[in-house]
Structure 1
Amino acid sequence: MTNPIRLLIAERGAGSLNFLALLRWALVVIFLWFGGMKFTAYEAAGIAPFIEHSPIMSWLHALFGAQGASYVIGVIELSTAAALILGAVQPIFSALGAAMSAATYLITLTFFLSTPGVAEGTAGGFPAISAAPGQFLLKDLVLLAASLSLLLASVQGPWLNVRSRE
Structure 2
Amino acid sequence: MSNRYPVPSTDSAIAALRWALVFIFLFFGIAKFAQYEAEGVARIASQYPLFAWMYPLWGPRVASNVIGTIELATAAALALGAFSPRISVIGGLMGMATFLITLSFTLGVPLWEEGYGFPFIGSLAQFLFKDAGLLAGCYAIAVFSARKAGLARA
Which TM class, normalised by the smaller chain length?
0.7 to 0.9
1:133 aligned to 124, 136, 142, which one?
A: 124
**Percent identical across equivalent pairs?**
46
Q: 2:112 is matched with which residue?
A: 119
Q: Is the 1:51–1:60 contact (alpha carbons within 8 Å) kept by the matching residues of 2?
A: no
Specify the code of the residue in structure 2 equivalent to 1:121: E
Specify the code of the residue in structure 2 equivalent to 1:99: L
Q: CA deviation at 1:17?
A: 3.1
Q: Per-residue CA shift, 1:93-125, capped at 9, x if unaligned?
A: 10010100110000000111144x32323123x
Q: Per-residue CA shift, 1:68-113, capped at 9, x if unaligned?
A: 1100001101101110111000122100101001100000001111
Equivalent positions of 1:85-164 (< 5 A) are 85-115=79-109, 117-124=110-117, 128-130=120-122, 132-156=123-147, 160=153, 162=154
Structure with more contact order per residue of length (Cα contacts < 8 Å, sep ≥ 6)? 1
Q: CA deviation at 1:16?
A: 3.0
Q: 1:5 is matched with which residue?
A: none
Q: 2:6 is matched with which residue?
A: none
Q: CA deviation at 1:23?
A: 0.8
Q: CA deviation at 1:63?
A: 2.2
Q: CA deviation at 1:46?
A: 1.1
Q: Is the 2:146–2:152 contact (alpha carbons within 8 Å) kept by the matching residues of 1?
A: no
Q: Is the 2:112–2:120 contact (alpha carbons within 8 Å) kept by the matching residues of 1?
A: yes
Count of paired positions? 144
The unaligned stretches of length 5 or more in structure 2 are 1-8
TM-score (norm 2): 0.85
Would you say 1:50 and 2:33 are equivalent positions? no
Cα RMSD, aligned residues only: 1.9
State which drifts further: 54-63 or 42-51. 54-63
TM-score (norm 1): 0.79
The unaligned stretches of length 5 or more in structure 1 are 1-14
Q: In the superposition, relative to structure 1, how do residues 158 and 94 fare at CA in structure 2: closer, same or farther (>3 Å)?
A: closer
